[in-house]
Amino acid sequence: MSEPTTTPVCYRHSDRVTYLACSECGRPICPECSHDAPVGQKCPECIRAAGGQRVVSARSIVSGPSFQTSPVVFSLIAINVVIFLIGLSSSELEHDLIVNYGALSSAIEDGEWWRGLTAAFLHGGFMHLLFNMYFLYIFGPRLERQVGSVAFSGIYLASAAGGSLATYLFGPANTFSIGASGALFGLFGAWMYAAYRQRGSAAGSAMFNQLGGILLINMALPLFMPNIDWRAHLGGLVTGAVVAFLWERTAAGRSNARQMRAISGFAMLVLLMTLLAVL
């Protein structure tokens, strides 16, 4: 007989359900007891035990991301910018990158399943690129620091695939789609899920309400602006929330939490790309 599972609660506040855990000792902690450190988040006892260790506040983390603390985010930004500049250098190259090899299109029916990922690295104009990279800069760095760079890569790519799958399954037959929006909405979905789980605290409730407002605005944009692939947005959002749910169930409170998050994200990526290949 399997042992009954219990819902984790903060070790300092037994009335607060939480799925955060100290990256040092593994004990469950609520947002009030969580201190953002250079790597992960720590409980008050581990922070005190570290003595001279520098603690980085959440405000300073959001305001000052860097390549040292968020290498995947800055690498993704660089890759997207370089690909965009390559396309600008030659109309033939741009045509090849977007039409012949990269964009999500009906060619996926001919077995070109990789378009489910390559489309997320292509953009149709400077403002499209600028908006998406700014979104990544705002919502990516802190998530990468908290879950680890490998796990962050997993949720980003899985969300890109989830957005592509939604467009492929529910879009018109002649769908032609590019952009990182599906992947970015996946990051947003992870933040929304985390805020929803922590909505019982003042900080969690405020965060959930703020993100909810941003989500409503973004989901309403296709009503006023043409050529926005809302299916990719929704598919990425759902994928990101599902991956965050898997993180919660498989990694919270475990000493190998980062490895479990990475496994969950890349397992979702493999599943979604397989569906693109076989459907």
* Mean pLDDT value across the chain: 82
Helices 257-278/230-251 angle, 10° precision: 140
199 and 72 in a single domain? The answer is yes
Could you give the CA distance from residue 271 to residue 268 in angstroms, rounded to a whole number?
Answer: 5
Q: Which two tokens stand for residue 179?
A: 């952009």
Does 240 lie in the same domain as 133?
A: yes
**Tens-digit pLDDT profile for residues 42-91:** 788 877 765 544 444 444 434 467 787 889 999 999 999 999 998 888 77
114 domain residue, yes or no: yes
- Who has greater pLDDT, 250 or 26? 250
Which residues are marked as active site?
Answer: 181, 233
Same-domain status, 101 and 237: yes
**% pLDDT > 70, the chain:** 86
Q: What CATH code is carried by the domain that includes residue 262?
A: 1.20.1540.10
Confidence of residue 37 (pLDDT cuts 50, 70, 90): low
Q: What pLDDT does residue 41 have?
A: 67
Q: Is residue 71 part of a domain?
A: yes
* Residue 61: inside a domain: no
259 and 214 in a common domain: yes
Instruction: Please name which of 226, 209, 213, 102 lies closest in space to residue 164, comparing C-alpha atoms.
Output: 102
> Does residue 191 lie within any of the structural domains?
yes
Looking at residues 165-183, what average pLDDT do you find? 87
Asked if residue 137 is part of any domain, the answer here is yes
pTM of the model: 0.76
Place of tokens 């459907």: 279
Average pLDDT over residues 154-176: 90
Provide the strand spans (E) within 34-103: 35-36, 41-42
Spatial distance between the Cα atoms of 83 and 98, rounded to a whole number of angstroms: 10
pLDDT tens-digit readout, 105-143: 777 888 889 889 999 999 888 999 999 999 999 999 989
32, 56, 80 - which closes a domain: 56
- Element (DSSP H or E) covering residue 241: helix 230-251
Residue 256 pLDDT grade (very low, low, confident, very high; cuts 50, 70, 90):
confident
Let me know whether 33 and 75 are in one domain. Answer: no
Q: How far apart are CA 141 and CA 157, in angstroms?
A: 16
103 Cβ partners below 8 Å, 6+ apart? 115, 118, 119, 122, 176, 177, 178
Q: What is the mean pLDDT of residues 243-248?
A: 92
State the DSSP string of 171-213. Answer: S-TT--B-SSHHHHHHHHHHHHHHHHHTTTSHHHHHHHHHHHH
Question: Per the domain annotation, does 35 fall within a domain?
Answer: yes
In this prediction, what percent of the chain has a pLDDT beyond 90? 35
Residue 146 sits in the same domain as residue 227: yes
* Best CA proximity match to 20, nearest among 214, 254, 243, 263: 254
Domain that holds residue 77: 67-278
Q: How many degrees, rounded to 5, is the angle at CA 90 between CA 89 and CA 91? A: 135
The reply to whether 181 and 258 lie within a common domain is yes
Residues 81, 214 within the same domain? yes
131 inside domain: yes
- Name which residue leads in pLDDT, 242 or 97: 242
Structural domains of the chain, count: 2
| pLDDT above 90 for 204 | no
Q: What CA–CA distance (Å, rounded) separates 136 from 155?
A: 13
The pLDDT of residue 3: 40
Query: Has residue 154 been placed in a domain?
Result: yes
pLDDT at 39: 44
